[in-house]
Amino acid sequence: MSNRGSATVTDADDSPFDVRSDVEITTVERYRRWLDRSVLAPLRIAADDWRTVVGWSIIFGYILMGTVGAWLVEPTELNEGEALVPPFQTMEFPLGTNGVGEGIFAKIVHATPEVLLMSLTGATFAVFMAIVIGVTAGYVGGLTDRVLSTLIDSQIAIPGLPLVILLAIFVEPKNPFIIGLILSIDGWPGLARALRSEVLSVKNESYVEAARIMGDSKTNIMRTDVLPNLLPFIGINFMNTARNIIFAAVGLYFIGALPYSLENWGIMLNKAYNSTALFVPEAFHWLFFPMLAIVVYSMGLVLIAQGTDRLFNPRIRARHAETVDDDPADIQ
């Protein structure tokens, strides 16, 4: 009996299911590896891609201009200088002046915070709505999918530009947050439909089936298993939506559909065009520099969108992580 009992213990010790790793990872090492994979590896990937470097440099420059620049540069006033001073003539007005003696550089700088707030608010709201509605419709299915798909199709069927113009005229928004929300109303349905299609292909993957069999809730599966696979697509569309918000805002300000509140690049273009700056060579810089600000900002967003896919690619991130080879779990 005693030999049988000792044999049982020996068999239990030799069981392949009782294998333990000889390597113990401390809490500090675990956090160090998380930092390397989640923060440092994406930074290394971004540093290797010129598009990401240039794009983020442009956007960071606009953020500095909208925060520190707006604090350092004094607001310009009417008749502060002579009318239509050419650019690069004086340090007081580096980009020249407009038809009423206001410094164009100061007006562009003080218009930047409003532009950044509009694009960030509009893109965040549009992407959030698309994620909630599109991912839920694609994963849950059934009646929920039919109802949410009907909502998406109904919103797509409504002409976006007339809807935005009517809301702008009715609400008369002056707050950049409200303007961003109004301009994003037409931005989420297309992305929601695309996300629904992506989820339909991801929901039948083996790892999602395994999580479902193990009893994970639908919310947890969508958050931890489905959504991470959509992050590259979502990141690209976030940047494109922010760019579209700026184009829509500038266009509506240019035609006068949005009320004049704070200074805005679209308002500057409107005033320059109405003052025949397009046909007067001496006033062309009044029209050119706001256009240049819009183009460079949009270019920065496009470059970031093009480099976003590599940041979320797990294989590329693994190659740029220094702690991968040291992790026993990664070796297996």
- Report d(CA 253, CA 257) in Å as an integer: 6
- Report d(CA 210, CA 13) in Å as an integer: 29
pLDDT confidence of residue 317: 63
Residue 160, phi then psi, degrees to nearest 5: -70, -50
Among candidate residues 134, 116, 248, 114, the one with its CA nearest the CA of residue 184: 248
pTM for the full model? 0.81
What residues contact 244, with CB distance under 8 A and at least 6 apart?
A: 187
The domains of the chain are located at: 64-331
pLDDT confidence of residue 137: 93
Q: Which tens digit of pLDDT belongs to each residue from 178-189?
A: 999 999 988 899
pLDDT confidence of residue 327: 45
3-state helix, strand, coil in the chain (%, to 5): 75, 0, 25
- Report d(CA 247, CA 234) in Å as an integer: 20
> Which residues of the chain are modeled with pLDDT < 50?
1-13, 15, 17, 325-332
- Architecture of the CATH domain 64-331: Orthogonal Bundle (1.10)
122 close to 183: Cβ distance less than 8 angstroms? yes
159 close to 186: Cβ distance less than 8 angstroms? no
